[in-house]
Amino acid sequence: MGSHIREICVTFIKGFENTIISFAYCVPPSKDLKPQEVPRTQAITKLRDLSDIPIPTDTIPIRKNCDYSRLNSIVSFDNVFELVGGINYPKKISCLSSDGKKRILLIKGKDDLRQDAVMQQVFSIVNTLLEKNPITKRNKLLIRTYKVVPMSRRSGVLQWCEGTIPLGAYLVTAHTKYRPQDMSPSVARTKLKDCHEQRKSNKYKLNVFKEILKVFKPVFHYFFTEHYLDPVTWYERRLAYTRSVATSSMVGYIMGLGDRHVQNILIDKTTAELIHIDFGIAFDQGKTLPTPETVPFRLTQDIVAGFGSSGVEGTFRRCCERTLQLLRDNQETLLTILEVLLCDPLYLWIIPTTPNTKNSSSQGGGAGGAGDAGAGLAARALLAVSSKLSGADGGAAGAAGVSVPGHVARLLHCAADPANLALLFPGWQPYL
């Protein structure tokens, strides 16, 4: 009897999963970024009273009594969805929960979300360490996370980050609004793109980039005066933003996060904290792209403008040092967990090769590796993380044993150096 019920449950859940995957792969009737009806061929709107299916993106706390009978479940899905932009048509759709509230889900197809899920697991573990440490807890140093639920190798469901906007969405508008006399972002991008396509020398690219910066000044500080009119709130949100950038920069550096262009970083309009999305390029894979990434994290002029008059000095630098110190102090824990995650046989490595094999938001990536190749890549990733945690900065000669303040100083210089920013892929938009 129990076996029969279990079979029914498994069949039911598989049916739900297949319905979600089908919708993820569905080509929408219209490519416009506005609400449209779900095609009649899709069964997602016919799903009703899924009392056995919890909301995929809800966090389910561990219960000592093991009673999970009262979880919020899906009642139904809306018959309207929206595209959010992207070559694979990621879809934003709402579902009604059994608690009467609506949950917004982002359903993606033709995209491997397992690396995103791994990074969210790592961030959650880092948050646990940050909360246990009295110094980082007092400074409220945390990384904003969201749920990622892979449904198959090439599809999955993500939690929609409500109340957020991409940095790029704000910055492009703000530059036109507050500094109309400056060069426009599109012209700046075209200038860098021409250098890239014409294969100009590094020196030439640097000169062009410096000329752009002369007529393209930062405006991100206006975000805080726009959204937080009360002086106390303005100060608190700017402080929260600075801490958020510091924490995510240090953790992102250790984990080798790449592709940090302005569409892959969201800002919460309520708390001013940053939320990083899209982790297709991680564990220093950005260094092997056709246009290698030359910076450890995003620290451009607009990012720094949000810190206030002190720039990278003061709060930002101290928070970077405290975060990096904590990561160093817990390197055994982090490496053990990463080894388990990266050596999982279900984890498919994404190896960037040529622009034609995999499309990322900014430039091409590649297909995956498995078996011996995957094991070798996992070992290499762990070695890179280990050397960073020991202060070797990726194995740089003579860098072993560098102090935390010295390490942070080197990283900040590298991230903000125009000579490095000028060499990045034009879609990264290093002038913003």
pLDDT confidence tier of residue 9, bands split at 50, 70 and 90: low
Angstrom CA distances, 123 to 71, 111, 327, stand at: 25, 21, 12
Who contacts 112 (Cβ-Cβ below 8 Å, separation ≥6)?
150, 153, 154, 280, 348, 350, 368
pLDDT tens column, 203-253: 999 999 999 999 999 999 999 999 999 999 999 999 999 999 999 999 999
Q: Under DSSP, is residue 239 helix (H, G, I), strand (E, B) or coil? A: helix
Mind giving me the DSSP string for 249-269?
Answer: HHHHHHTT-----TTSEEEET
Q: Which two tokens stand for residue 96?
A: 């009604």
Confidence band (pLDDT; 50, 70, 90) for 33? confident
Q: What is the pTM of this model?
A: 0.90
Backbone dihedral region for residue 322 (phi beyond 0: left; psi -120 to 50: alpha; all else: beta) = alpha
108 exposed, middle or buried (CB, 10 Å; 0-12, 13-18, 19+)?
A: buried
Name the percent of the chain lying above pLDDT 70. Answer: 90
- Distance, in Å, from the CA atom of 187 to the CA atom of 211, rounded to the nearest integer, reads 12
356-397 residue pLDDT tens: 334 444 554 444 444 566 677 778 888 899 999 988 875 444
Residue 68: other Cβ atoms inside 10 A = 11
- 3-class SS at 156? strand
First and final C-alpha spacing in the chain: 62
Is 10:18 a contact under the CB 8 Å cutoff?
A: no
